[in-house]
Amino acid sequence: MQRSRNTLNPALAAAWLTAAALSGIACERRTPPTQEALPSATSAAVATAAVAPSKAYGEKITAGVRVPLAEVLNAPQSFSGKTLIVEGDVRKACSRKGCWMEVGTSAEPSAPGCRVTFKDYAFFVPTDSAGAKARLAGHVEIENITPSFVKHLEEEGAHFPNKNADGSAQSVTFVASGVELTKS
């Protein structure tokens, strides 16, 4: 049976999502192009399946200073520019394609936590990652984010307890190069 030109196989769909992510399309639902319009595949992995009992995404976690997440969140400036390994509870993940997650010192919503993004948008985590334990390698970034991006993230379930009057917020983000998720 011959496949229609508008039908994509999963590998081509993953390549399209990767190309969309690399071109700056953030969490938007768009109609994939036809097979002929797809860019060449990259080595990025798009993870949309359920989290396995223990699964790794991105680079293998091998090097970095192990620091408790609470310590990083208490003084993020002191960890800027350092490769760290932290552990925490995944409280939320992007429900559209897994391009970010929120990790906290515990699963409680009131416990300290931060947003996690993935280095160079090179990989994603499963959209059902909430409830998993995470081990992350990467670095801390502190940034001021615009009101429109705050709103976008809140629509996806993110929480900003200290928003500015104009709707912007200062955000501590952990940019992960590698992630290990474990679900019991």
Q: Note the pLDDT of residue 47.
A: 42
pLDDT tens, position by position, 44-82: 334 444 555 689 999 999 888 999 999 999 999 999 889
Predicted TM-score (pTM) of the model is: 0.68
Q: Where are the alpha helices (DSSP H) in the chain?
A: 10-22, 69-74, 147-155
Q: Note the pLDDT of residue 12.
A: 35
Q: Note the pLDDT of residue 184.
A: 78
In the chain, the percentage of residues whose pLDDT exceeds 90 is 53
Judge residue 104's burial from the number of C-beta atoms within 10 Å of its C-beta, 0-12 exposed, 13-18 middle, 19 or more buried.
Answer: buried
Lowest-confidence segment of 23-32, 72-81, 158-167, 171-180 by average pLDDT? 23-32
Q: Note the pLDDT of residue 126.
A: 96
Tell me: pLDDT of 16 over 70.
Answer: no
Q: What is the mean pLDDT of the chain?
A: 77
Q: Note the pLDDT of residue 53.
A: 61
Average pLDDT over residues 97-123: 94
Average pLDDT over residues 14-40: 36
